Every structure is written in C-alpha cells, then in structure tokens.
A and B are shown apart, each in its own frame.
Chain A
Amino acid sequence: GGTDAQLKDVIIKPDAPSSLLLDKHADYIAAYGSKKDDYEYTLSEYLRMSGIYWGLTVMDLMDQLQRMNRQEIIDFIKACQHECGGISASIGHDPHLLYTLSAVQILCLYDSVDAIDVDKVVDYVKGLQQEDGSFAGDKWGNRSDYLYSFYFFCSSAFILSGKMDTINVGKAVEFVLFSVQQQTPFKCTPGIKCEYFNSAIYCCTGFLSLTGQLHQLNADLLGWWLCERQLPSGGLNGRPEKLPDVCYSWWVLASLKIIGRIHWIDKDKLRRFILACQDEETGGFADRPGDMVDPFHTLFGVAGLSLLGDEQIKAVNPVLCMPEDVLQRVGLRPDLLS
C-alpha cells in the first residue's frame, strides 16, 4: 500500500506564527521598493505593474491603502500607457495584456479609471482577440500556456471599465470550453485528471463566472479534484506530488468559493498553514513556512484568510481578487454557484 513517507508536504513547527500579524504586513508592503536601485527590484521591474496591484490590493484589504502614494502611482500608470492603448509593466517597457489589466485594477481601487484613455485600452484589448476566440498577450501574438489567464484577464479588464460587450464573448466562451476539453486526455470532465496547475483552473472558473457560464462545469467533480489538493499540513498544492504553496490557498479556495463548494475544505487546517507562512520579523507571507516573503504571497495569504472568514480583513471578491466594496462601487457582481 501507499506510504506517507513518500508524500511531499511540509511540517509546521510548534513555534510557527499562529496569529495574524496585520500591522507587520502593512509595514512590509509600505516599505517595499523604497530602495529603488536595489538589484532585486531591477530584476522584477518587468512585472512592476502587477507588483503594485498586489501591494495595493492587500493594503486595501487590510484597510491601509491611505499609506500608499496615490498620485505617484497614478502618474506612473499614465506614463506607461502607449500609443496603441496598451499599458506596460513599467516606463519604457513594451505594452502587454497582463499589465494593462493590472493597471485598470489599480485605477479601480483608486476610483480613477479615467486617468488613462479607456477607449484606447478597449481598442488595444479588442485587437488582441484571435479568430478562434482566444487572446494573444501582446502584438507578437504570443499564445502562451496561460491562455485561460489571458482570457480571464481580458474579460476582467472589460468588466472593470464597463465595456464587456465590445469583445466577442461567445467565441471566447467557445474557445475556453473547447480548450478545456482538448487539454484533458480522452475527453474527461473539464478540470479533472489533467495537467492543470490550479491557477489555470482558477482563471477558467473566473472566466466562466464573468461570462455567466458556470453551469458548464461539473461542480462536484471539480470540487472533489480541488479538495484533493489539501495536504496533511493543511496547505494546498497545485498538482499531484507538489509541495503546498500559500498562493494555492487563493487559487484553489477562490475556485471552490466560485463553484459553491468552499465548505468542502478543512478550513481550520488551511488557516493554520497560511498563518504559519508569515514572517514574524519582516512581516509578509512566504510560499511556505520558513521561506522568504514577497508581496505576491502576502496578497494571496491575506486574501485566502479573508475567504476563510477572518473578520480583521475586508471581504475579498473571489473572481477578481479585489475588495468587495470596490466592486460594489463599480457595480460588479460576478456569478457564484451556491
């Protein structure tokens, strides 16, 4: 029979953090990037716009957004919008769908979407849709494996600027469902027993929610597969025989919330795992206990705890990973299954 000795998992030490250290996390994010010529900061500049989105969203969830420099960030975004309407990760970099979305999300947090030329953003994104309904990431037509992500991101961008009807949604839906079928060997039920890492499942589920197509999923089967990702430590992994990672406490949990099966997960154990990923000295969350922290995992740690019902954190929307009150202000309520 199978032995647990082979199971890849982490062990949570008895002295691991067990309470939420919100103040430390707010300090960590507020100070992040203050040494702008830091070597690591230069290395990650290619994704700066997403980094800012992660930082601001987690600050807002902790009700600390006012500590960030709003005008500087809005000016930065303006400087990143190119002639074609697309927005780049940082000044001088090439525009891309991913960073266009991050920029729109940031401006939504600040209720300043009109700081950029929104019509041109719509033109840019619309221009990236391919004949088969999928989206390229940029003008080079790159159709990476994150197909579903692109689509999801694209739809999100439209939702946030209220212009969903200008893309070919029908074709986009067709493409996602077809791709999901093709990905699975021997035409199994979507999302099951296939080489999905769960951020792809999340993007797919989110997309189907935004396009009102959640009924196309087999929620029980998908829910079962997702819950299989929970390991004895309480953490969630992305695929069989991978270590748990705190960002999966977002991807998997949010997917379960969207399909109405969040109660299938062992919430107490997951919460214990997420809390153990905090760094008591520096603040912030790491991918797993004892590793180095970063803003990406900090956002998903906090957002995951919010989904689990922590009342010290604002409610987070599972589809768009933004505070619910922001989406309410914009008038957005993506579908969820019950």
Chain B
Amino acid sequence: MAESKEEVDVLVQRVVKDISSAFKRHPNIDEIGLIQCPEARYNRSPIVLVENKLGVESWCIKFLLPYVHNKLLLYRQRKHWLDREALVDITCTLLLLNPDFTTAWNVRKELLQCGALNPERDLYLSKLALTKFPKSPETWIHRRWVLQHILDQFSSVAQTTEQPVESEHPDAERTLLLSNHLNRLIHQEMKVCSDAACRYPSNYNAWSHRIWVLQHMAKGNIKVFHDELSSVHPWVSMHVSDHSGFHYRQFLLKELITELSRSSSSASTIFGSSQHWTSTVPSSSHLANGERSLAYSPSGERFATVLQLFYQETELCSDLIETFPGHETLWSHSCTGEDCSLCPWTQMEYGEPLHGHRVEPS
C-alpha cells in the first residue's frame, strides 16, 4: 500500500502534532512505548494514551522517523527554517524514537541556553526516553548537561547580592528555596536512576549517573550519602547479580568514610546518640533519636562510626552470600572491603576477623 510523498508528509505532521498535544493535555505521562500494530486503522491516530502511558503504533514509525530525522538535518544545515515551537516538537518526537541522536539533544541545548526552553522539560523528556531506552548513553549525557546548567543558574542567583526591586524574598529565604529545589532535584535523579536500573540489569550508565549526581550536587552531604546507603540496601538484596549496584555501595561507603575522617566538617548528622554495635542498617528513625552533630564529636566516635559502617556491610555481604550462594558479584564486593585498608587512622589490614565475623568460602 504505497502512499504518495504528500500523503506521507501530511500524515506525519499530524502525528507530530498529536504527540505534542498529548503532552500538553496530559502532563503526567510517565512512560512511552511501541504498540505492535502492523496496519493503520481507518482514520485513527497512531498515538494512543492509556493511563499515563503514551503509545505509538508500530506501523507509522517507518514514516515518522525518517521524516522528523531529515527535517532536523535540513534545519541544521540551514536549508530549511523551523521556528522554536516546531523545533521543540520535532526534537521531542525524534528523541522519543531515537534518543541516541546526539545532534537532536544539542539543538535542545541551544534552545535552553537562549532561554527558549525550560530545563525542566528536558529533564522530563529524557526521563521518558529512559523508560524505553534505560541505557541510552546520550540521554544520560544530556541529562547531566541540563543539571549542570541548572546548577550554574543556582550559583549565579545565589551570588546576586542586589535584589530586584520587585523581589520580596530576603536572602535567607532564597537560600532555603534553592536548597529545597536542589534536594528535590537530587531525589528525582535517584528515582530516575533507580527506575532505569530496574529496567536493565547491571545498568552501568544509570549507576554512573547516580554517582555523578552525588558528586556534583551533594558533595560532603553525609545525610544524603547515608540515606542512599539505606535506600539501596533492599535493592541490592533483590538483585545480587547486579555488579553496578554493589559498586555503588562501595562508592557510598568510601565517600562517607572520607567525610567522616575530615577533622572539621559541616554539621551533618548521621546516627542518633546511641551507637549499637550489633544493629543492622540503621532505619530512618535514627533522626528521631536525638540528632547530634558528628562533626564536633571526638575522633574516637567517628572512628567507631566508620567501623560500624564496615561491619554492617560485611554483615550484609555474608547474609546475601549465605542466601544466594555462588554469585561472583557478592564475592567481589566482600573481598574489596577485606583486602584494603579503609581507615586513615590506622594501617591495620582488615583481613583479620572483625568481631568474630569473617566471610569464609563455603
């Protein structure tokens, strides 16, 4: 069933508009997907919305992709003009079909830079793309660029000492707003990474992004690192083959230990006033037990915290190894802790049994 070029163009332009309208009318779309449907149904749009999931019927893809792809390239070569709205719509469609198309993300970077596009929209678009393409390297790269762009905007706002006349927010309130926004962004990223890690096993790109976010947006924030350690604990317990998940735990532990070993650090809280040697991973109720800044604790207490972290990790490992024998990932993770000295206060080798618990090959 051959269609003329004109018919195809008309059809595709309608589809691009349908996608754009779908997003405008349903801002809660949280997933995209392809619907296996080899033939067009009479006069019905191939764009289908079911319970916040946006589907594209497969029959139209072979027309849709080449059209938007070539349109964008003609624009890029200055052979065909597209206004901002058209650019946004075309790149949106293109990237939902082919998110590794770097040039399309770059076009959106330019729109972002000149203020024609809100960065939140690209966080949203890339999040959607990742629901179908959880590994897509170019999507993760673009996401980091957008986050950096937002962070740069934060710093320039924070550095502004002159208030615009119409502003009613004093400095302290503005700092709080920024800080809340930052925390929201961090939590959003953790969720996006976590979803992508569930969609594809040992998703290196998702976990590396997660590390990047903490390194760039939560530097020195002991609470965030500690919360993360708690929150991935159930995940790794259910994904014992996932090498990336365990590597993430290693990263968190290392960062926590580095921060705790600083002689003076910001007033971050981590544990309650009582330290239990035999406790398992601390629950979220630790904050309710009376917060106390660890920064001003004597180094002995911080040393004890480091040992406790290490002890808990060893316990986690040995529990999982007992429950799921024969997983190379778990051995790899447990050996890392054992072989290396991790405490700057001592050169003690942690090959020795720690409180009588040692991971033995069975």
Binding site for B on A (CB under 8 A): 1-8, 37, 39, 42-43, 45-47, 88, 91-94, 96, 137-138, 140-142, 144-146, 185-188, 193-195, 197, 239-242
**Residue in A93, A96, A186, A240 whose CB lies within 8 Å of B254:** A186
A-B contact pairs, 25 of them (CB 8 A): A1-B325, A1-B326, A5-B326, A6-B324, A6-B327, A8-B241, A39-B66, A42-B69, A47-B100, A91-B77, A92-B73, A92-B77, A93-B103, A137-B141, A138-B102, A185-B253, A186-B337, A186-B341, A194-B247, A195-B204, A195-B247, A240-B329, A241-B242, A241-B327, A241-B329
User: In the docked arrangement, what's the CA distance between A91 and B207, Å?
Assistant: 33
List of B residues within 8 angstroms of A194 by Cβ: 247
Could you count the A-B residue pairs with CB atoms below 8 Å apart for me: how many are there? 117
* CA A43 to CA B133, docked complex, whole Å: 14
Binary contact track B18-62/A, C-beta < 8 Å → 1, others 0: 000000000000000000000000000000000000000000011
Give per-residue flags for B327-343: 1 if the beta carbon is below 8 A from chain A beta carbons, else 0. 11100100111011110
Residue-by-residue, is B183-219 near A (CB-CB < 8 Å gives 1, otherwise 0)?
A: 0000000000000000000101101100000000000
Interface residue? B292 (CB, 8 A): no
Q: Do A144 and B328 contact each other (CB < 8 Å), given the known contacts A42-B66, A42-B69, A239-B243?
A: no
A142–B109 Cα gap in the complex (Å)? Answer: 12
Q: Which of A46, A92, A141, A242 contacts B98 (CB 8 A)?
A: A46
What residues of B have a CB within 8 angstroms of the CB of A186 in the complex?
250, 254, 336-337, 340-342
Tell me the complex Cα distance, A6–B240, Å. Answer: 11
- Once the chains bind, are B204 and A197 in contact (CB under 8 Å)? yes
> Is B223 interfacial (CB-CB < 8 Å)?
no
Which residues of B approach A to under 8 Å, CB–CB? 61-62, 65-66, 69, 73-74, 76-77, 98, 100-103, 106, 109, 137-138, 140-141, 144-145, 202, 204-205, 207-208, 241-244, 247, 250-251, 253-254, 324-329, 332, 335-337, 339-342, 361-362
Q: Which of A37, A141, A144 is packed against the most chain B CB atoms within 10 Å?
A: A144
Hey, which chain A residues are within 8 Å of B69, CB to CB?
42, 45
Residue from the list B109, B140, B253 in contact with A140, Cβ < 8 A = B109
Cα A140 to Cα B141 in complex, Å, equals 10
Contact A93 B332 (CB under 8 A): no
Residues on B with C-beta less than 8 A from A142 are: 141, 144-145
Instruction: Give the distance in Å from the alpha carbon of A140 to the alpha carbon of B109 in the complex.
Output: 9
Cα-based distance from A6 to B137 in the complex (angstroms): 29
CB–CB B340/A242 < 8 A: no
Given that A186-B336, A241-B327 are known contacts, is A145 also in contact with B204, CB under 8 Å in the complex? yes
